[in-house]
Amino acid sequence: MIDYPVIDDVLKNYNLQVEEIEEYSSFYKLKTNRGTKILRAWNDVETLDFAFQFRESLAHEGFRKIDRFIRTNDGQPYILNEDQGFVLTDWIEGKIPVSSNPQHMKTIGKTLAEFHQAMVKIKTNQTFEPWSHHFKRGLGHLMQIEKVVSQKQRKTPLDDIVLKYIPSQQAQMRRSIEMSEKLERNYFRNEKEPGWCLGNVQLNRFRIDRFEEGWIFDLGLPIYDLPAYDLAKMVAHVYQRNGFQEDIIYKLLDAYQEKNPLEIDDKKWILTYLSYPHDLWKFLYIYFIAKVPQKGYSLEMQYQQLVGLQINTEQLYQVLYVYFQL
């Protein structure tokens, strides 16, 4: 974390008196005479202007339930201290949503819908790389891995289990590519455009305040993609966290669609995302191609667990296919 003298130098730029500092893994919680604040270090200073402008654009479009930057005494949205940036935001008091709580999931569905409605109004000159391109690269990686592993003279237990499952994973990827290419032809023919998305969709990035309103606790930096990306990731995340129970998913999706109804293509995009074995590809890519050492329990157990998770995701695909009435 940061040395306290550095924190003192940063806080001199704000009109507040700090009474207590609590240290967390990624920020400092400050109790001040102007309420509770958060001080974050921002290592990638080149993105600070964009992060500030994006938050202000969201607020301008009506979505203010985010961690907006507090301006300094001289009106600056952040502080630069040598090669590091610092931002001050209000502390969002609230509960982390619980995946098994129906009311919490309704609130998250509504909040995500409101975020997407505001996001789509923000114009940008970003370019969008079609999903099919990503999917094809992933298929190429798995074909490369299969070739390397099959040619090894001495195979590990992980090698054996990878060779067992990788053909079916490649088949899944080919189906995903076919689905995405078909959707992309219609999508771009209708001159629709992607927009900014939350990207890293996890329940711990949200808070529910005492009025049962949802907030995005840590907006971070958005990504440029289809709104279906956020919704598909959130649905899969909640489904997994809640022990693969489908009823809670309906609460989230119903609440989302009350605010922001999904078109047929949106529903198909969600299914397309779920059809692709993202976690399996990531595991195999990191170990066999990037060659990053993996920690934790045995690699074959990690891989087997991801295979099981993908089977449950395929069940979610079937559940949503019926729910969407496709």
Query: pLDDT band at 81, cuts 50/70/90?
Result: confident
- Asked whether 30 and 87 are in contact (CB, 8 A), the reply is no
- CATH number, residue 80: 3.30.200.20
The domain boundary, picked from 26, 55, 90, lies at 90
Phi first, then psi: give them for residue 244, nearest 5 degrees: 60, 40
Q: For the chain, how many structural domains are there in total?
A: 2
User: Is the same domain home to 187 and 141?
Assistant: yes
Separation between Cα atoms, residue 68 and residue 87, nearest integer Å: 9
Q: Is 316 part of any domain?
A: no
Q: Is the pLDDT of residue 115 over 70?
A: yes
Q: Tell me: do 77 and 114 sit in the same domain.
A: no
The whole-number pLDDT of residue 55 equals 95
The residue segments making up the domain with residue 30 are: 4-45+67-90
Residue 258: predicted pLDDT: 98
Rounded CA-CA distance 95/208 in Å is 5
Range 132-141 burial, b when 16+ CB lie within 10 A, else e: bebbbebbeb
Does the reported pTM lie above 0.85? yes
CA distance 116 to 112: 6
Q: Is residue 143 part of a domain?
A: yes
- Read off the pLDDT of residues 126-163 as tens digits, 9 standing for 90 and up: 888 999 999 999 999 999 999 999 999 999 999 999 99
pLDDT at 188 over 80: no
- Alpha-carbon distance of 299 to 283, in angstroms, equals 10
**Does some domain include residue 274?**
yes
Digit-coded pLDDT (tens) for 202-212? 999 999 999 99
Query: Is position 324 within any domain?
Result: no
- 251, two tokens: 């609460």
